[in-house]
Each structure stands twice: as C-alpha cells, then as structure tokens.
Amino acid sequence: MLEAPQRRQARFITFEGGEGVGKSTQVKRLISALARHSVEAVRTREPGGTPRAEAIRSFILQGRSEAWGTGAEAVLFAAARLDHVNALIAPNLAKGTWVVSDRFSDSTRAYQGLTGGVNDRLIDALEHLALDGHTPDLTIVLDMDPVVAFRRVEQRAVEDGLQLTGDRFEKEEIEWHQRLRQGFLDIARNNADRCVVISADQGEDELEAAIWDAVRTRFPELQA
C-alpha cells in the first residue's frame, strides 16, 4: 500500500533588528525563496498582522499611547501580539503553512525592556501570555550600524517624495539606537539555539543568500 506523502512541519520564522536594516525587504525575499521550494508561507508583521492588531499599531505609532508610559505600551504591543498569535500565526501553523513575521516578541524585549527600562518580570509575563507556546523556530537578527541604517531610511523617504519628519521612534537619539542594537545582540546571545545574527551591511542579494543559508541550515528538510 502506498504511504501518504508526509507533510512538512510548518515553521515560524521571525526577523528582528533596528529600523532600516532591511527586514521588510528580506521577509519578502524569503517568502519568494520558500515558494520556489514549494513551501507555502504567509508574510506578516508586528505590531499588526490582523485587523485588530493593526488598529493597535496605528494607535501606538501615531504617538497616542506615549503619555501612558513605556510599561503600558509594552502591554499594548502584547495585546496586539495575542490577537496576532490567536487569529493568524497559530491557525496557519496548524494547517501546515509557514509564517514569516517582520518583528515579533524580541522587539518588545529590546525596545520597551532593554532600551525602554520596563522590568524583566513584566516583559517575561507578557511574553508568556501572548505567545502561549508559539516561540519562533528561527529568529534572524539583522545587525548593522544604526547610522548607516538611518541613511537608508532617509534615502527611502527621498525616493518616496516624503519629508523626513520621522515617527516618534525614529526621532530618538542615535545613542539610544546603539543601545537598541546591543539589546538585540544580547537577546540573540541569550537565545543562541533560536537566533542567528547576520550582518545587514551588505547588498540585498548577498544578504538574501546569507539568510537562505541560515534557514536551510536550521531546517534541513528544505535541502531535500
């Protein structure tokens, strides 16, 4: 009797890092690379990914939560994440579709926790509640000097014909972004079984190849 073909286990991959390091660009490229290997994957982002989480995204990124303080903002990011996990991430993984997210819970730890001063107990508790066991299988941390990354963001604004006023995160001082960079590196070091740090200071094609290498190393089933 013929055996039914084995369905590959769906994987959950996240991209993390500071602004302008190329996360969105590489998330799209990874989705295409997976498709070329017959892997169905959904692209999503945080904050956001579902209508309710996108509503929280607009509220926060417009600066409307700023007066509430960083702790309350961490709770809002986690509320968005809870919906994102329940309504998009978990159902897709359950039906065998891979999920690739532009930012996830490490961003709360890096921005609100390690850089924003929210204590570990709150960050740990929020992570536990919002993830409910859905820890990423692989996290790609894109790392580069924030000054160089800012130039990319400026260039993008010029190309889009926008005035670079920046949202409230992008107005923060460069020193703050250096600490943020170190925060992501610390998270990667403390979660070495899950995270891979890749230099983002290379061309888009070279970076895509380095990411694909990391993905194929982590998931050998892709080499079949």
State phi, psi for 100 to the nearest 5 degrees.
-120, 120
Residue 65 sits in the site that holds ligand Z5A (CB under 6 A): no
* Selected binder of ligand Z5A within 16, 46, 127, 143 (CB under 6 A): 46
Contacting ligand Z5A (CB under 6 A), which of 66, 120, 132, 167? 167
Give, in order, the Cα–Cα distances in Å from 207 to each of 134, 152, 168, 197.
27, 15, 28, 12
Give the residue with the Cβ less far from ligand Z5A, 46 or 143. 46
> Does 21 interact with ligand Z5A (rule: CB under 6 A)?
yes
Q: Is 98 in the site for ligand Z5A (CB under 6 A)?
A: no
Tell me which stretch binds ligand Z5A (CB under 6 A): 3-11, 20-28, 91-99, 186-194.
Answer: 20-28
Among residues 166, 137, 127, 132, the alpha carbon closest in space to that of 19 is found at 166
Q: What one-letter code names the amino acid at 28? A: K
Residue placing its CB nearer to ligand Z5A in the complex, 59 or 137: 59
Can you tell me which of 8, 19, 179, 222 binds ligand Z5A, judged by CB under 6 A? Answer: 19
Amino acid (1-letter code) at residue 63:
G
In the bound state with ligand Z5A, the residue whose beta carbon lies nearer, of 77 and 219, is 77
Using CA atoms, how far apart are residues 20 and 202, in angstroms rounded to an integer? 13
H or E element at residue 43: strand 41-45
Three-state DSSP at 104 gives: coil
Is residue 156 involved in binding ligand Z5A (CB under 6 A)? yes
Q: What dihedral do alpha carbons 104, 144, 179, 133 form, nearest 10°?
A: 20
Judged by CB under 6 A, the residue of 12, 98, 111, 184 near ligand Z5A is 111
Binding site for ligand Z5A (CB under 6 A): 19-25, 46-47, 77, 103, 107-108, 111-112, 152-153, 156, 167, 169-170, 203-204, 207
